[in-house]
Amino acid sequence: MTVKLLIQAIIKFIIGIVFVALLIFLPAGSFSYVNGWIFMGILFIPIFIAGIVMMIKNPLLLEKRLNAKEKQKEQSVVVKLSGLMFLVGFILAGLGYRFDWYILPKPVVIIASVLFLVAYILYAQVMRENTYLSRTIEVQENQKVIDTGLYGIVRHPMYSATLLLFLSIPLILGSLYSFIVFLAYPFIIASRIKNEEEFLEKELTGYKEYKQKVKYRLIPFIW
């Protein structure tokens, strides 16, 4: 652990909080948007805890995830589309609160919050199982195919976790209109997976054999 990495992590964490808060509460026109506070809490408290754990146990992984920048053109487009989805989705949720559009009932928000936390646990487990994880598509030095644990069920468990995470977000915010926007994510991530697997087949030894062993990419028995 270095002081530089610690400062970088703290700065990015604070920027993330401020940015998400602006996207949610500015369109809402009020800090009384309870669903917004619920989402902020279940999003950033686990991120804070995960950051501390990585800082202590695997600072290299933390550094890679903080500094990752997509180099491939196809994946850069995917990242931009995801960013646009979040931007529109958050703004719609805030506007929905301000103008009293249809707000999802509390039981839906509670269930979505639980699913979000479950997805976070799955995400943490994926990171524990695969120390080669990166926010960009790349093959690292001495990287090996991971085929145990969650990787023995689907080939991309990290994306499975993010699918559950992201589809839970608009429900936590209580916005049906935002949820419709976030339905674009499965198609966005499917495009990323297709390109990623083509890359891994060429660059990562044993990946073709792994594909034959684990049939499903994202959702068991479906795809």
Q: At what angle do helices 34-57 and 73-98 cross, to 10 degrees?
A: 140
This prediction has a pTM of 0.85
pLDDT of residue 149: 85
Architecture of domain 3-213: Up-down Bundle (1.20)
Q: Return d(Cα 169, Cα 43) in angstroms, integer.
A: 9
Instruction: Pick the more confident residue, 86 or 66.
Output: 86
Is pLDDT at 1 greater than 60 in this prediction? no
The full set of domain ranges for the chain reads: 3-213
Instruction: Give the percent of the chain with pLDDT over 90.
Output: 42
Beta-carbon contacts of 168 under 8 Å, excluding residues fewer than 6 positions away, are 112, 113, 115, 116, 119
The answer to whether residue 72 scores a pLDDT higher than 70 is no
Integer Cα distance of 147 and 145 in angstroms = 6
Positive or negative: CA dihedral 103, 107, 110, 116: negative
Convert the pLDDT of each residue in 140-186 to its tens digit.
666 788 888 888 899 899 999 999 999 999 999 999 999 999 999 99
